[in-house]
């Protein structure tokens, strides 16, 4: 149900139990109030879930508070309406998703008109697999994606130009929010074995970039390292050629190469060159990282050998 009177997105606790959706505990529970400020019987909200929602090709992953929503499975409030800014045809019961945000992030084919009927809503919990895919469940687990891969012929080497001297610059200051994300990122990568403490004479600083969804992405500023790196001339595909190849296609396969760069090791002995420094210390990468000059070429070679 679309409800402009609701401030956020809510999902019925019955749906959470039925689909066995994992819940996330909130640091600070919130009280539920009606428009005049009175608290309602549902009391407080102390948990939320991550949902993958698809409505006739309009798909997104969102957070929803778990409450008793009465006869409605899911309530889309003002936060969702402001984000998507849908055009609603009340007489016909149609919802048109054609905002810039939807075209860039949610629509498989834009623009398109979507019927806004609750029974046609496909609700899925992230991580829940249909029975037909159960035999391939290991493909969808995050275990192997977070493990340190073995060395292979596709390891990325960082070959420096003759006479290159290791350089390092100052660390960049970070905000309180960025500092929290930095500490979390370092701990996660250490636990996965993707980085290790270093004594490298080369050190690149860390910066943060905000994604479209508002989340912070930790990036390493490899500009000085890239300036002294010998470039790999392996060819990347031309977009024009790809479009020509696909122009008559009717069925497409979407393949999510999640954390693909983490499947490629840095060549043994070259790890020190990709070191980065933060207020929490100096670390060197064991797996390929975005920002390395030859990463796209190496990954393209890797993909061509697989497919």
List pLDDT tens digits, range 208-252: 998 888 889 999 999 999 999 999 999 998 888 888 888 778 888
Q: For residue 218, which phi and psi values (nearest 5 degrees)?
A: -80, 125
**pTM: predicted TM-score of the whole model, two decimal places:** 0.54
pLDDT at 141: 61
Peptide bond into 267 cis (omega under 30): no
Residue 158: C-alpha distances to residues 8, 69, 267, 271, 303 (Å) = 48, 56, 8, 8, 19
Query: Do 163 and 95 share a domain, yes or no?
Result: no
Alpha-carbon gap, residue 116 to 118, rounded angstroms:
6
pLDDT at 44: 78
Query: Do 104 and 236 share a domain, yes or no?
Result: no
Query: Do 120 and 166 share a domain, yes or no?
Result: no
Q: What is the dihedral of CA 272, 278, 281, 282, to 10 degrees?
A: 10
Q: For residue 195, which phi and psi values (nearest 5 degrees)?
A: -135, 165
Query: Do 245 and 296 share a domain, yes or no?
Result: yes
**Domain range for 212:** 147-306
Residue 54 belongs to a domain: yes
* DSSP structural state of residue 111: S
Alpha-carbon gap, residue 168 to 200, rounded angstroms:
10
Residue 136 belongs to a domain: no
**Of 95, 125, 155, which closes a domain?**
125
List pLDDT tens digits, range 74-90: 888 888 888 888 877 77
Residue 32 belongs to a domain: yes
Structure tokens at 44: 């407080």
Residue 15 belongs to a domain: yes
Q: Residue 237 burial by CB count (10 A; 0-12/13-18/19+): exposed, middle or buried?
A: exposed
Residue 4 belongs to a domain: no
- Polymer length of the chain: 307
**Residue 142 belongs to what H/E stretch?**
none
Give rounded-to-5 percent helix, strand, coil for the chain: 30, 30, 40
**Of 93, 125, 157, which closes a domain?**
125
CATH of residue 186: 3.10.10.10
Residue 82 belongs to a domain: yes
Residue 64 belongs to a domain: yes
Query: Do 291 and 156 share a domain, yes or no?
Result: yes
> Which residues of the chain register pLDDT less than 50?
109-127
Query: Do 264 and 218 share a domain, yes or no?
Result: yes
Query: Do 79 and 173 share a domain, yes or no?
Result: no
Query: Do 72 and 160 share a domain, yes or no?
Result: no
Alpha-carbon gap, residue 245 to 229, rounded angstroms:
34
Query: Do 266 and 159 share a domain, yes or no?
Result: yes
Measuring CA to CA, which residue among 208, 204, 203, 205 is closest to residue 175? Answer: 208
Query: Do 244 and 193 share a domain, yes or no?
Result: yes
């Amino acid at each position: 149900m679309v409800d402009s009177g609701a401030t956020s997105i809510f999902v019925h606790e019955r749906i959470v139990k039925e689909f066995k959706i994992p819940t996330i505990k909130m640091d600070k529970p919130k009280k539920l109030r009606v428009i005049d400020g009175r608290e309602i019987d549902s009391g407080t909200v102390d948990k939320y879930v991550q949902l993958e929602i698809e409505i006739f090709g309009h798909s997104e992953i969102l957070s929803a508070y778990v409450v008793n929503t009465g006869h409605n499975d899911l309530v889309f409030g003002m936060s969702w309406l402001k984000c998507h800014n849908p055009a609603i045809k009340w007489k016909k019961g149609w919802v048109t998703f054609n905002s810039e945000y939807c075209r860039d992030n949610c629509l498989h084919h834009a623009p398109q008109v979507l019927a806004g009927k609750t029974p046609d809503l496909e609700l899925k919990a992230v991580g829940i697999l249909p029975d037909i895919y159960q035999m391939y469940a290991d493909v969808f687990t995050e275990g192997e994606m977070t493990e340190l891969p073995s060395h292979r012929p596709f390891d990325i080497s960082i070959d420096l130009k003759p006479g290159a001297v290791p350089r390092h610059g100052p660390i960049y200051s970070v905000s309180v929010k960025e500092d929290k994300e930095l500490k979390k990122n370092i701990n996660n990568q250490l636990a996965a074995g993707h980085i290790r403490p270093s004594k490298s004479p080369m050190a690149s600083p860390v910066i943060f970039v905000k994604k479209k969804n508002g989340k912070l992405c930790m990036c390493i500023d490899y500009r000085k390292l890239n300036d002294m790196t010998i470039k790999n001339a392996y060819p990347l595909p031309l977009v024009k050629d790809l479009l020509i190849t696909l122009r008559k296609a009717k069925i497409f396969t979407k393949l999510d190469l999640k954390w693909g760069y983490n499947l490629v090791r840095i060549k043994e002995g070259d790890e020190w060159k990709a070191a980065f420094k933060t207020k929490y210390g100096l670390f060197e990468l064991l797996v390929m990282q975005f920002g390395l000059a030859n990463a796209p070429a190496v990954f393209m070679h890797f993909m061509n050998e697989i497919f």
